[in-house]
Amino acid sequence: MPGGFWITSSWADNVQRAVGEYTEDHIDALMAAISRAGGDVVLWRVDGAGRGYYHSEVLCPADGSGESVERAEPIRQGMKDYDPLAVAVECAHRNRLKLFAWTCLFDSKTVRPRKGRDLADPFLEKHPEWYLLSRDGKTRMDGVLCYAYPEVVEYRLRQYRELLARYHVDGLHLSTRSHAQSNPNVIDRRDWYGYNEPWIDEFKQRYDGLDPRDGLPTQYHVEKWTELRGECLTGLLQKTRGLAEEGRAELSIDVYWKEDHLLGTKESGEPRVLARRDWPLWIREGVVDYLVLTRGRRAISDISFLDAYRPHFAGANAKLVVWHNLLVREYDDGLRTVTRPVTPDEIRLMKKAIRSGAVIDCFHESADIEFCSAPERYWRALSECV
């Protein structure tokens, strides 16, 4: 149904939260519920921590190893019984939905000692030099790739080719969100990562031997350093656009709403990596079909932040999408953070506000509806606003 909403779905989360096995029939029932509610597009997560939640020949397929106790066996058994992505594509199409493969750009390793999780891409672990390097050269942001290396770009493009040619997905959704930035070894400091040699060497060549590690003399040079590191992301998107067009698929990317924000610090939300996300160029030159704005786990009550984006879409073919979390964080008495589900009435209010700006709604994630105590109330709230 054109004009409907988008919704995300993570098979790994679904199998963890299900009571008993999460089968092919469950995936079909989920797609049917989304379709009945008026959904258009499902962003189906296909990887996490460098493991593929499908029978990939490029990524290491997930087998439950390195996972927490509650996730390990359901993932192992599900991957053994069927190919989750192949089933999801078939079920989505049967229910008149588009399925975009949601794949992560900066999420190739997750270490959570307290949760018993220690996952990484085995191929990338052989090349730690491809992870983002700190300013002092002593640590790396494990799991967060530097796309200044041609080998890293080609590795990603191989994954995208497989998704398009073998699984015939309707689109690719490239996510800049990352769990890897919270790994124990990561230093929580502004502009501390992204000092890899290819970027350093290129900057020196362009700007009279200036070394960013020693500090930059003017704001002009800071901006040029920020732009340089963003060029690699634009280059990857342009190559991916070519693959998508060959596969007759669409391309979307999510970005955090703050300017030049990449991998924010926990305390202030300031960027740990200053890298220009040149989304105006992506829109203007038709590099992406959709720009998805995320704002973290907070309910959207003020949509004035959209004003900075809307003018760029006038006359463009690309469309603006706003990401709503179905779990939001609030402060209890200003002292501690509490996570709670949004209510069906809040969904109605969010959709009404966003619709006034003629943009698309994307709800994250389906499991928060599928496994709640009254899923039909939520599906009904979504359907009433289409």
The secondary structure of 319-337 as a DSSP string is EEEEEEESEEEEEETTTEE
Angstrom CA distances, 113 to 162, 179, 185, 386, stand at: 33, 14, 12, 43
Question: Which residues, 6+ apart, have CB-to-CB distance to 298 below 8 Å?
Answer: 325, 328, 329
Helices (H), the chain: 11-17, 24-36, 69-81, 84-94, 122-125, 150-167, 197-206, 219-246, 279-284, 344-355, 367-370, 375-384
Interaxial angle between packed helices 84-94 and 150-167, expressed in degrees from 0 to 180 and rounded to the nearest 10: 50
Torsion of CA 205, 210, 211, 213, to 10 degrees: -140
Q: Which CATH class is domain 5-285+360-369?
A: alpha beta
Residue with tokens 């038709």: 286
The secondary structure of 268-299 as a DSSP string is T--BSS-----HHHHHHTTS-SEEEEE--S--
Q: Beta 171-175 vs 140-145: how paired, if at all?
A: unpaired
CA distance 380 to 312: 33
Q: 118: helix, coil or strand?
A: strand
- Digit-by-digit pLDDT tens for the chain (386 residues) are 446 899 999 999 999 999 889 999 999 999 999 999 999 999 999 998 889 999 999 999 999 988 888 889 999 999 999 999 999 999 999 999 999 999 999 998 888 777 777 888 989 999 999 999 999 999 998 889 999 999 999 999 999 999 999 999 999 999 998 877 777 778 888 889 999 999 999 999 999 999 999 999 999 999 999 999 999 999 999 999 999 999 999 999 999 887 666 776 665 667 888 889 999 999 999 999 999 998 766 666 667 788 888 899 988 999 999 888 888 765 555 555 567 788 888 887 777 656 555 588 899 999 999 999 889 998 998 888 66
